[in-house]
Amino acid sequence: MPPSTLKYETYAFTPMLGWSLSRYEVFDKCKRQYYYTYYSKFVTEVPHYKISQLRELTSVSLEIGNVVHDVMEAFLRRLQKDDSSIDQQRFFDYAHQKAKTYFSTKTFIEEYYSLSNVNVDEACARIDTCLANFMKSPCCSWLYMKAMTNRENWMIEPSGYGETRLNGLKAYCKMDFLFPVDDIIYILDWKTGKKDAYKHSRQLVGYAAAASSNFSIPAETIFPKIVYLYPEFEEFEIAFKPADIDAFCQTVKAQTDEMLSYCADPAQNVPRAIDAFPKTPSPALCNYCDFRELCFAGIKGPIGDVEFDDADHLIPH
């Protein structure tokens, strides 16, 4: 049986490195980007204001996701209090207002590096598609018909970063929406981008592992699901066994150890010198890296094939 009240455990601050799927993904792709992303306070060769400016860059796809997540949060909180039909016009107007605010107050990587123009109307059209796909989906109907019975126990966009412990290791598994139905805990994660079966399968197992650990419930009573909202509505779920949870926790341990090997002081999560974090030049990675100007000073627009010499200097082509 799930607990009568869902509540995240809270943990005192520790400097120890915390695993997350996104953190390891950056680490695996480019060690230099990883350093700038997670150890910016140790950067000495670049002014702090510049690192902060680059860290705050966003992208069109990211902001579309942020708007949809915020609108879905508002919808669910309203539904939790009142299950009457919503005013569809006000619903979409609210989304457009959010989008225009976000797009007018943030700096976009597409424009900062002269990659493409940012069109808020096109972004709003995609946001509308995402929200319309949800509103007419069986998932939305199911929430109204089935999930309302225990709505006081819903967890909607829980605060914080989803900190948990997996076999004693610090980890972050941020979830969008958790709710109990009968003896089952459901977890829904909204996606507005491309389907990635491999990555998202791991994410689902991670959600199950985190919820099982946090709420002290068997993994087989947890049903995580990815909900794709664009271009069409689609639900993605996997069948997993307790052995899959164990294997996932072993992967987290191995990946945490790998990241810790780049620390001069693992206990305090202090990194080695920046030279220990090599660049991984690739157009696919570098074009949309927030920190690309630190590797390619003065270069605007799309980056082609690149390489660096042994002294870490860009080799011109």
Looking at the fold, whether 166 and 115 belong to one and the same domain comes out as no
Looking at the fold, whether 23 and 156 belong to one and the same domain comes out as yes
Tokens of 6: 């869902």
Total structural domains within the chain: 2
Cα diameter, the chain: 65
What domain range is 226 assigned to? 1-27+137-258
pLDDT tens for 125-175 read: 999 999 999 999 999 999 999 999 899 999 999 888 999 999 999 999 999
Tell me what pLDDT residue 316 has. 56
Q: Is the pTM of this model over 0.85?
A: yes
The average pLDDT across 22-47 equals 97
Looking at the fold, whether 19 and 87 belong to one and the same domain comes out as no
Report the C-alpha gap between 24 and 13 in whole angstroms.
21
Looking at the fold, whether 74 and 216 belong to one and the same domain comes out as no
Q: What is the dihedral of CA 93, 95, 96, 101, to 10 degrees?
A: 130
The average pLDDT across 66-84 equals 97
190 bridge partner residues: 227
Contact 201, 239 (CB under 8 A): no
Pick the more confident residue, 4 or 132: 132
Looking at the fold, whether 146 and 224 belong to one and the same domain comes out as yes
Cβ within 8 Å of residue 126, ≥6 positions away? 64, 192, 230
User: Which residue, of 101, 124, 147, is where some domain finishes?
Assistant: 124
- How many Cβ atoms sit within 10 Å of the Cβ of residue 297? 8
pLDDT tens for 277-290 read: 999 988 889 999 99
Looking at the fold, whether 251 and 195 belong to one and the same domain comes out as yes
Looking at the fold, whether 62 and 205 belong to one and the same domain comes out as no
pLDDT tens for 187-218 read: 999 999 999 999 999 999 999 999 999 989 89
Looking at the fold, whether 61 and 116 belong to one and the same domain comes out as yes
Tell me what pLDDT residue 301 has. 85
